[in-house]
Structure 1
Amino acid sequence: MNILLMSMPDCAPHFNAKRWKPPNLAISSIAGNIEGHNVSIADLILRRDLVAETVRELIATYRPDVVGLTAMSFQFATARRIASLIKSLNKNIQIVLGGYHATLMYDEICKSEESDPFDFLIRGEGDLCFHELVEAINGKRSREGVLGVSFRNDGCFVHNAPRPLEDLVKIKIPDRSKRIWKGYRYYGFTLDIVESSRGCVMPCNFCSMDKMYGKTFRRFSIERILADIANAKQHGANFIIFSDDNFTLDIKGFETLCDAIVDAGHNDIRYIIQASSSGIASSNILVEKMARAGFRIVFLGIENVSEENLRLMKKGNIIEKTKLAVKRLHEHNIMIVGGMIIGNPNDKEEDIARNYEFFVDLHIDFFADQILTPYPKTGMREELLNARLVTNEYDYSRYNCFWANVKTNHLGPEDLQFLRWKYNKKYSNYICTTPAFIKNYPLAYYYRHYFRRPFLKVKDKLFGNNLSEMELYKRDMARAEAMNKFF
């Protein structure tokens, strides 16, 4: 059979879609675990400007019997439109939806018209499940026997029993050779995605990860991780993001991996990870090992400077641990993308301002500032709904941390949207000026500081950028609104 796997083109407005073009790890892993069929991978992030035309071309060229789509919640509307387009081209193509939204919201999807273009849903991990489903579609096994699958039967969906978490030993490394296009980028680097573990046992109530993996943590073997890195490098990667939910749940394992990366000679490229402040602060030797292994950027879950808000998010009082983690990372010139969540129930403008000031005081290199989002099935969503603070309950296309879907007891959603924009604009000249950034990217710093910023000032002066603050805000929001309009 011909199998076509597609990821969605939607990108959160935080990111520069021209410079941030990551591959989808899930469908690459599925491709690596399908045997006996012709598999092709189409990451639509690489064809954002011509989505409908590209889908038509893919269907005509690859003539798939089965199309697999993966989508997060904010990408689901696009996935549904793509699925409908495919059905209009060939109604006999079997369409499978997987990913976080299908896993969390399968029952709601299947009971509504939103399920119309889909034949199957995969709930949970799809690495091995997809191959079993293809065999069922091919008539070699029963559909009822594929755990974790929901399938259409006489117009209604039947939900098979949940699938147990996979034994990671059985999952082969992703098959990157099946990718149709090249061009995965992180600014000037060739980007790829690797994972070393799955799951998180932390109690954060704003996160939906436990609905995919439960409160569990599983590690791949060191040998498998090194093989995955080597394969990514063979396909051109010189910058790798580890997709792990929290890289610092197993500190000893992380330290061992750092040593193994050095011993294998894989410290000739750069890595990004996501970590907790508590984890980084817990070891005296971890950060030194990270620096030797090539880890250059850490997404650090700082979240907030308010003890009250940290308590509401079930993060605990991690402020002093955050300061220590930042100190250790910067001592080894590792840059920090600081995770920040604003729009908590009691936030006023001064509370939001304090977070940005705290980040600047710590010399956080980049802001990953998000507006609190009531993701489906999270504990935080239930709390916000009960408090009547959710202002957009069902338009999941706006659930990407950029748009305000909540209000606080003092600020409306439009206030939150404006304040995030206001403080990003206020500190725009701060970004890329921190000591760690300058040491990592001196040429980029001098370009931005001595050429690009003076050029933009002259341009504004010559061409009369006389827009008011509110006019600038509305212009930028209109651009963000248009960013994911594909149909």
Structure 2
Amino acid sequence: MKILLFSMPDTVPQFSAKTWRAPNLAISSIAGNIPLHHEVVLADLVLKRKTLPSSIKKAIEDYQPDVVGLSAMTFQFDTARRIAAFIKSMHKEIKIAIGGYHATLMYEEVASSNEGKPFDYVVRGEGEKTFGDMLDAIEGKREWKDIPGLSYRCNGDFFHNSPRPLENLDTLQLPRRDARIWDGYLFSGKGLDMVETSRGCTMTCNFCSMNRMYGRTFRTYRFERIMLDLTNAKKNGARYIAFADDNITLNVKRFESLCDAIVEAGHNDLRYIVQASTTGIASSPTLAQKMARAGIQIVFLGIENVSERNLKLMNKGNMLEKTKRAIEYLHNNNILIVGGMILGHAEDKEEDIAQNFEFFDKANIDFYGEQIITPYPKTGMRDILIKEGLVTNTDDYSKYNGFWANVKTKYLSSEDLQFLRWKYKRKYSTFFKTTPVFKANFVMVNLLRVFILRPYYRTKNFITSIGKTERNIFERDMKRFVEMNNFLGRDFKEKK
């Protein structure tokens, strides 16, 4: 059979599609584990945001798939549903499967509502083996009821099989990067790819949905397999690698050994981006040194919040001293920090939000990765916030991406949270960072920004702000962010 796998075009406003266009690792990994007698191609729609309907239509016409697979996060799910309906309106005979975190956590709700109408199958949890088994069933080689992790439509109704046990990572094949039909994956103008070295996390953070996906487990790939994966990514044009691990610092000794293995294999000619916990980084004075030698250039650091009260609410414990130590270790080794910040907790007032941004500023955090706490489906935090009457948007999941305020606090409305996040980000953070670490990592780029781009944008912002209040500028910016993912509303027509 012919298989076409799509990832969604929606992006989070903090990550501009102009500078960050990453391939979807999930569909690449599923493609790598599909039985070889099938033909499979991959289409990352983040590369076709400006020509979405025509690009989807052309891909369908060019490859004439028997089965289409869609992967979507929670905020992308409505886009996936509309794309599925669009495909069905043109080709009713094409079978469509949906997978990803949202479909996994919300499969019963999806299957029992109108949202499930365009889909024939829901692939729940890790999809590598389930998707292949589903193809076998379509070919009549196995019984539908015997495929764990699959929900399937029969005579108009969905049937839900038992969950599939977690995969043995040693049995998984490499992702199929050669099956991608479009080019253009990049970060800061250089080729970008995704690699994972482990799956899962054993932590108990109640705002995270990962434990509903994998349970509280931590599974790792063999170093030999990781090195082959890096070789494959490099062969396919990667110069930057983003490690997709949920918590790569959960086993610090392993991470240190991984850094050594990268150097030994000669893969430190790549540049790496990882997300890490402050506890993990702070636990070893040698870890950051090894990370720097391996070529790790940027760390998304889970600082989360500097309030002891809020850290306790998130089941994070008191991390402030560890956070300061982690920042020191990374900056001493010339590693850029994207500071993860979560705002909008029940007791937050304006001074609490200001306190977090002031801390980031004084700590010379290079980039801000601030989010407003989001009541993701099936999380403990969602249950708490709903019980306290603090969730203001319970069902428009298209805004569940950390940027939009879907909650209020006891003292601030959703509108207040949205404004204050914008206000203090604008006050303290700048795209033209000139901290010593930023300068050392991006010398030429920073010179261009300081002497050409910074004066230009300051002048432009001054001119466009004349006669406007702070609220006017905020509303203008929010309108622009709404439009970022509104390509569907403008030109994507679902045929009835």
TM-score, normalising length: structure 2? 0.97
Partners of 2:235 and 2:430 in 1: CA distance: 38
* Aligned residue number for residue 79 of structure 1: 80
Residues 108-130 of structure 1, C-alpha deviations (whole Å, 9 max, x = no match): 10111110000000110001211
* Aligned residue number for residue 453 of structure 2: 452
* Aligned residue number for residue 153 of structure 2: 152
Count of residue pairs the alignment pairs up: 487
Structure 2 SS opposite 1:407: coil
Partners of 1:337 and 1:6 in 2: CA distance: 29
Equivalent pair of 1:365/1:431 in contact (CA under 8 Å)? no
Equivalent pair of 2:432/2:446 in contact (CA under 8 Å)? no
Residues 410-452 of structure 1, C-alpha deviations (whole Å, 9 max, x = no match): 0000000001111121124475222111110112222222221
- Quickly say closer, same or farther: Cα 1:250–1:50, change in 2 above 3 A: same
TM-aligned CA deviation for residue 461 of structure 1: 5.6
Structure 1 SS opposite 2:166: coil
Pairing 1:203-214 to 2, within 5 Å after superposition: 203-214=204-215
Equivalent pair of 1:366/1:431 in contact (CA under 8 Å)? no
TM-aligned CA deviation for residue 238 of structure 1: 0.4
Q: Tell me the C-alpha RMSD between the 2 structures.
A: 1.1
Partners of 2:295 and 2:81 in 1: CA distance: 40
Q: Which stretch of structure 1 is more off in the superposition, 452-461 or 199-208?
A: 452-461
TM-aligned CA deviation for residue 153 of structure 1: 1.2
Partners of 1:427 and 1:282 in 2: CA distance: 29
- Given residue 251 of structure 2, which amino acid in structure 1 is its aligned partner? D
Partners of 2:460 and 2:114 in 1: CA distance: 50
- Quickly say closer, same or farther: Cα 1:469–1:483, change in 2 above 3 A: same
Partners of 1:67 and 1:17 in 2: CA distance: 24
Partners of 1:459 and 1:238 in 2: CA distance: 33
TM-aligned CA deviation for residue 56 of structure 1: 0.9
* Aligned residue number for residue 275 of structure 2: 274
Partners of 1:430 and 1:191 in 2: CA distance: 21
- Given residue 32 of structure 1, which amino acid in structure 2 is its aligned partner? G
* Aligned residue number for residue 217 of structure 2: 216
Equivalent pair of 2:343/2:370 in contact (CA under 8 Å)? yes
- Given residue 162 of structure 2, which amino acid in structure 1 is its aligned partner? A
Structure 1 SS opposite 2:159: strand
Structure 1 SS opposite 2:269: coil
Partners of 2:38 and 2:481 in 1: CA distance: 40
Structure 1 spans left out of the alignment, 5+ residues:
none
Equivalent pair of 2:358/2:428 in contact (CA under 8 Å)? no
TM-aligned CA deviation for residue 250 of structure 1: 0.8
Q: Which stretch of structure 1 is more off in the superposition, 278-287 or 408-417?
A: 278-287
- Given residue 108 of structure 1, which amino acid in structure 2 is its aligned partner? E
Partners of 1:464 and 1:220 in 2: CA distance: 52
Residues 184-233 of structure 1, C-alpha deviations (whole Å, 9 max, x = no match): 01122210000000000011100000111000000000001111011000
* Aligned residue number for residue 3 of structure 1: 3
TM-aligned CA deviation for residue 285 of structure 1: 1.3
- Given residue 16 of structure 1, which amino acid in structure 2 is its aligned partner? S
Equivalent pair of 1:176/1:235 in contact (CA under 8 Å)? yes
* Aligned residue number for residue 55 of structure 2: 54
* Aligned residue number for residue 373 of structure 1: 374
Residues 284-306 of structure 1, C-alpha deviations (whole Å, 9 max, x = no match): 21111111000111111100010
- Given residue 91 of structure 2, which amino acid in structure 1 is its aligned partner? N
TM-aligned CA deviation for residue 43 of structure 1: 0.2
Structure 2 SS opposite 1:215: coil
Structure 2 spans left out of the alignment, 5+ residues:
none
- Quickly say closer, same or farther: Cα 1:461–1:99, change in 2 above 3 A: closer
Structure 2 SS opposite 1:329: helix
Residues 322-341 of structure 1, C-alpha deviations (whole Å, 9 max, x = no match): 00011001010011110000
Equivalent pair of 1:192/1:239 in contact (CA under 8 Å)? yes
Partners of 2:204 and 2:159 in 1: CA distance: 32
Equivalent pair of 2:432/2:450 in contact (CA under 8 Å)? no
Partners of 1:384 and 1:297 in 2: CA distance: 33
- Quickly say closer, same or farther: Cα 1:461–1:117, change in 2 above 3 A: closer
TM-aligned CA deviation for residue 380 of structure 1: 0.3
Pairing 1:239-250 to 2, within 5 Å after superposition: 239-250=240-251
Partners of 1:445 and 1:411 in 2: CA distance: 38
Pairing 1:327-406 to 2, within 5 Å after superposition: 327-406=328-407
Partners of 2:92 and 2:170 in 1: CA distance: 37
Identity, in percent, stands at: 57
- Given residue 356 of structure 1, which amino acid in structure 2 is its aligned partner? F
TM-aligned CA deviation for residue 468 of structure 1: 2.0
Partners of 2:285 and 2:462 in 1: CA distance: 51
Q: Which stretch of structure 1 is more off in the superposition, 55-64 or 390-399?
A: 55-64
- Quickly say closer, same or farther: Cα 1:362–1:459, change in 2 above 3 A: closer
Partners of 2:394 and 2:482 in 1: CA distance: 18
- Given residue 156 of structure 2, which amino acid in structure 1 is its aligned partner? G
TM-aligned CA deviation for residue 135 of structure 1: 1.1
Equivalent pair of 2:137/2:144 in contact (CA under 8 Å)? yes
TM-aligned CA deviation for residue 460 of structure 1: 4.9
Structure 1 SS opposite 2:458: helix
* Aligned residue number for residue 23 of structure 1: 23
- Given residue 195 of structure 2, which amino acid in structure 1 is its aligned partner? V
Equivalent pair of 2:207/2:376 in contact (CA under 8 Å)? yes
Equivalent pair of 2:124/2:149 in contact (CA under 8 Å)? yes
Pairing 1:154-233 to 2, within 5 Å after superposition: 154-233=155-234
- Quickly say closer, same or farther: Cα 1:445–1:394, change in 2 above 3 A: same
TM-aligned CA deviation for residue 457 of structure 1: 3.2
Equivalent pair of 2:432/2:454 in contact (CA under 8 Å)? no
- Quickly say closer, same or farther: Cα 1:356–1:400, change in 2 above 3 A: same
Structure 2 SS opposite 1:393: coil
* Aligned residue number for residue 34 of structure 1: 34
* Aligned residue number for residue 12 of structure 2: 12
- Given residue 224 of structure 1, which amino acid in structure 2 is its aligned partner? R
* Aligned residue number for residue 322 of structure 1: 323
Equivalent pair of 1:300/1:337 in contact (CA under 8 Å)? yes
TM-aligned CA deviation for residue 462 of structure 1: 6.1
- Given residue 22 of structure 1, which amino acid in structure 2 is its aligned partner? A
* Aligned residue number for residue 125 of structure 2: 124
Residues 369-390 of structure 1, C-alpha deviations (whole Å, 9 max, x = no match): 0000000000000000000000
TM-aligned CA deviation for residue 464 of structure 1: 7.1
- Given residue 7 of structure 1, which amino acid in structure 2 is its aligned partner? S
Partners of 1:240 and 1:462 in 2: CA distance: 39
TM-aligned CA deviation for residue 459 of structure 1: 3.7
Q: Which stretch of structure 1 is more off in the superposition, 431-440 or 156-165?
A: 431-440
- Quickly say closer, same or farther: Cα 1:462–1:84, change in 2 above 3 A: closer
